[in-house]
Structure 1
């Protein structure tokens, strides 16, 4: 429910009040004496879905932006006429749950801080995310998402496109470009300082850190996160619900990958930064694409109906353009996903081959102790480089046929030759217990 406070220009009092009477809207009028161009201030309650059509009708009656209009939340309205309005406008579909176009525009603008605050908060969130990734701490990474100020620009571009506010669209796009660049740069500088001052162990292999490696070789599931974040973000502000948690989700799609890219750059591994940088870009584009589609679906249109055709064409062009770019990035992520699938399949098949070989009667006295597949560093399309098999057996000389057999059987499952290292560990059993002597 909303309470609308509207200033009535001179000569428009009867027109405005007549429009409210025609719609069956309760109102209260007070005379205005502070300025000569306004004769009264009218107050009236409305169901949320009625705000936009009523304000549009009043604007057609002569209430322009020079006269101020205030729309605030109303907790309770007791009125039979109001209940009739509610039954008229609230019919349970998606469009009746959304806020008015005017409120949406104000909400989108309020979510974007000033440029200096936006830049500082982006730097802080990127630094915190970088620390969290290097510490391999999911909790710290989540904390970086909470403070990231990305939701406003991420959704503002979609809002500006749909309601024909090019100033909001341009500002939001600019903020997004700056935000991505600043986040990666801040992460790179901070990671370089950490590395040079030996805050982290010298020689740290960033590809061995779980929180980092998963973002250096992203897959198609990351695209689903970004699309979901964009849809959830738009629905949150369009229905007037809290956007705090959705802001965290959008930040989850942008800040950690940007920090991972900065870390890879600081470690002198630009190829490793390709996957995470691509992930940041595709997530930004996906959030905007999902926002555009969702806003148009729930019924938001420009204020001026004469510009509807032009705006619709512009929105369509932007949707097609974004979809095309996202599709290209999706192919790239699909390639990474396929490479990961091939590697996982190879690892599973290689382990099965080792177990089958050791189950043969000839090698029955040997047992598999450890199995490891070492991946190369050709990010983002990593592939198996070496297989390390640790085998336990009696303290006798290991049969050379075992190593040869394992190498042959394992490489049957790979198009490229994979190095196979077989390590033997003497297992001495006594008093019902086994001990290793390697």
Structure 2
């Protein structure tokens, strides 16, 4: 269940209440006239099944409430109410399958913002991975994958393509390109520093490295894994099962590939640098392709399910 807290101008409150009452899957409606001060207006609260949340929020936005008032949405972890259970039963589909597009756009917008923190995490992850590739240490590679925040802009770009949001697409693309560019440049400098103190060497990079040589040897499995990870990551975002993102993060070799490219470039090992770059591009392409197709499929099947549910409802006299 979701909890909505709305601030509505007094002249819009009746329309908002009618919309809530006519939306299947809503309950616990509360109206507090004149309770809001900034902005001034009424406070309207209700609970809604997750399956019906996107439809209700879209209707509220059509009433202009996001511009004239406020729409706040929270997840309800526990609701002991027969009315809430009935509302979930009446709503179409299953809550785990529902996509809250407004929430997804907001979440990916925040995750795909080019910020100092985002660049810092990506740079640190790339430097950790650089240590992993030189030492042939798979544990460091996995740790770097988990630290890397690059799935946020990738998910934002997929969402922007499906929702036709050019600003979000541009923001995500800038965050991705600038973030990796800064991470690569810093890692090249980091490689020179580590070489100066005899911790890195070209000999270690050129060694067989059985645990990490896959990073600069892309093959068909690289693309297949990226596609599967893109599907899993997208599903984890849309179903609010964010714990699965950790597994997604350690399934793709974007950060390790970037780090190996940086280290190889610093030592003039251009064959490795190109192989790592190819691995990076294959992973990015696979994730974007899979994420976009997953969102399109979810949008199509959820729309069909809602249409079938509405067609089966008795018509209101």
Give the TM-score of the pair, scaled to structure 1.
0.63
Residues 1:165 and 1:67: Cα distance change in structure 2 (over 3 Å): farther
Taking a change above 3 Å as real, the CA distance of residues 211 and 184 of structure 1, as seen in their structure-2 partners, is farther
Change (3 A) 1:103 1:242: same
Secondary structure in structure 2 of the residue aligned to 1:235: helix
Native 8 Å contact 1:9 1:67 kept in 2: yes
Query: Is 1:209 matched with 2:209?
Result: yes
Partner of residue 51 from structure 2, selected from 21, 45, 49? 49
- Check whether the contact 2:134–2:204 (CA below 8 A) recurs between aligned residues: no
Query: Residue 209 of structure 1 aligns to a residue in which SS?
Result: coil
Q: Which residue of 1 aligns with 2:11?
A: 11
The match for 1:85 is 87
Which structure carries more helix by proportion? 2
Alignment of 1:289-438 (within 5 A): 289-299=289-299
Match of 1:29 among 7, 28, 31: 31
**Cα distance in structure 2, aligned partners of 1:60 and 1:205:** 58
String of CA shifts for 1:51-109, please: whole Å, max 9, x gaps: 111122233345343321011011233444433331232434xx862341111112212
**Cα deviation code 1:226-274 (max 9, x no counterpart):** 1112111110110011254145236x42011111111221221212211
Q: Secondary structure at the match of 1:71?
A: strand
Secondary structure of the structure 1 residue equivalent to 2:42 = strand
Give the structure, 1 or 2, with the largest relative contact order (CA under 8 Å, sep 6 or more): 2
Task: String of CA shifts for 1:296-347, please: whole Å, max 9, x gaps.
Answer: 110179xxxxxxxxxxxxxxxxxxxxxxxxxxxxxxxxxxxxxxxxxxxxxx
Q: Report the alpha carbon displacement of residue 213 of structure 1 after superposing the two structures with TM.
A: 2.6
Partner of 1:287: 287
Alignment of 1:179-218 (within 5 A): 179-200=179-200, 203-204=203-204, 206-218=206-218
Cα 1:289/1:202, change in 2 over 3 Å: closer
Paired residues of 1:225 and 1:253 also in contact (CA < 8 A): no
- Deviates most, 59-68 or 284-293: 59-68
Structure 1 42/199 Cα, relative in aligned 2: closer, same or farther at 3 Å?
A: same
Check whether the contact 1:16–1:58 (CA below 8 A) recurs between aligned residues. Answer: yes
Q: 1:62 to 1:123 in 2, by over 3 A?
A: closer
Instruction: Provide, for residues 3-55 of structure 1, a one-character-per-residue CA deviation record: whole Å limited to 9, x for no partner.
Output: 01111223122222122223363301112354487431111111111111112
Question: Match of 1:159?
Answer: 159
Distance 2:66 2:205 in 1: 62
Gaps of 5+ in 2: 302-317
How big is the shift at 1:183?
3.1
Asked if structure 2 preserves the Cα contact closer than 8 Å seen for 1:236 and 1:246, the reply is no
CA distance in 2, matches of 1:253, 1:177: 16
- What is the rounded CA distance, in whole Å, between the counterparts of 1:281 and 1:114 in structure 2? 20
Contact 2:138 2:212 in 1 (8 A): no
Aligned residue number for residue 75 of structure 2? 73
TM-score, structure 2 normalization: 0.85
Deviations, residues 274-305 of structure 1 (Å, cap 9, x unaligned)? 1110110121122111111111110179xxxx
